[in-house]
Structure 1
């Protein structure tokens, strides 16, 4: 389902589910190119749109970017974590260096979304909010397809138990009881849980990709409409930057172009 492509000898990933859209999950080899440089690789002539990501759940269209006053002072980029197209030939981009880059498409309308979903954005249900916006004026959630790109894998992503509970709250079978240890134990006992035990007290391992998948499935997206890249940014330094590994602010970009 995931394929390596090359441009001028440089590798990037595509997902078969998104074969009808020009898209790519780009690697560290493309640094320091930015979305303006990368868009022509996917679709010459498409307009380019990006954000200043802030680990929230605000999603904007290019038109909404033009009208917002919530901007980064230095660059003028809008402060948000999701982009949604409203017409053809719009390329939307997100950056990641362990967080989940999620590309979403609507087969009926041809519109797409690019979402930056770290643990904070995931706890705020940013991916499901993007799907809901893509469904405005559309017929069926069966037209939604989702590709979750390379991100840090759950087996190496250690977080506090409080963070683990906050992120998994939306997919927990029962409301939090107020007993942190009991709530964590309940989540660990789930079949194919997004939480894994950790040897250090007060810590767990968190699979953020799995949480996003479960949130989307709870919304009604069929599992066959969701693809998760089998690549970990932390464990594959030859292809990906990882903030957790390197403690440097370096990113790879992921983008998709509306039909």
Structure 2
């Protein structure tokens, strides 16, 4: 079991994961709202490049150079980060670094923030994985992009941060089947659901309402990683639920507020 540690900065709590201890990183709580990645990066590691995207619940993963090209809009490359005007940000749900001293950030408020690091190349990724992104395999997509930069599966370390847990995340059976199709070979909806129920430590839990189930998105991501050949020792899942811990986390499902918590990580020298 990988350890998750509460840290404080100016008296405010945030989480780190022992799996990523050699990288500057943090899963920040709602107490840091509305501080931006610009401010949070200064706390983690000053004087590094800072990158975030406009999250759209897809599976596109960009590099910093791709983000800068999109945001320059044909003009002179602006210094990053953009002045936090979402309309100026490139649209994606994951970022992978290309060189040392690049900080990458994602925001979440029930969806899974995934931070990935490569112990050999020093590159890292930050991924926003809601049910739609998970159905579209965004975490495997980020890993595939890291592999194009020389990463090997055995060198990856993956931390899945605070998110809504399966015990309280009610979804339709259609949504569950769409997410389940990312780990079950092409089958009919009911066959996918049956196959998911039969898995040991199934990502599906019963729900009292007809046509509904409870879905553990982080468990599905873990199974996607398993299918890629990632060993369980390379993956850590935070024992924290955004919905059930209002003292620490925003939950869109609970509060219906457009507020988020940030998760970020800084790339290292190889």
* TM-score bin (small chain): over 0.9
> Among residues 166, 176, 193, which one is paired with 1:164 in the alignment?
176
In structure 1, C-alpha distance between the alignment counterparts of 2:207 and 2:265, rounded to whole Å: 36
**Counterpart for residue 210 of structure 2:** 201
> Among residues 57, 60, 72, which one is paired with 1:58 in the alignment?
60
Structure 1 residue 134 displacement after superposition? 1.2
Q: Secondary structure at the match of 1:171?
A: coil
**Counterpart for residue 39 of structure 2:** 37
**Counterpart for residue 21 of structure 2:** 19
> Among residues 236, 244, 257, which one is paired with 1:227 in the alignment?
236
In structure 1, C-alpha distance between the alignment counterparts of 2:133 and 2:114, rounded to whole Å: 12
TM-score (normalizing by structure 1): 0.95
> Among residues 112, 115, 120, which one is paired with 1:100 in the alignment?
112
**Counterpart for residue 77 of structure 1:** 89
Q: Deviations over 1:61-103 (max 9, x none)?
A: 1100111269998630010000110011110000000000000
**Counterpart for residue 81 of structure 2:** none
**Counterpart for residue 192 of structure 2:** 183
Structure 1 residue 175 displacement after superposition? 2.6
5+ residue gaps, structure 2: 74-83
Q: What RMSD in Å do the two structures reach over aligned CA positions?
A: 1.6
Question: Do 1:188 and 1:197's aligned partners in 2 also have CA atoms closer than 8 Å?
Answer: no
**Counterpart for residue 109 of structure 1:** 121
1:146 and 2:154 correspond? no
Question: Do 2:180 and 2:193's aligned partners in 1 also have CA atoms closer than 8 Å?
Answer: no
Distance 1:187 1:78, change over 3 A: same
Q: How many residues align?
A: 256
5+ residue gaps, structure 1: none
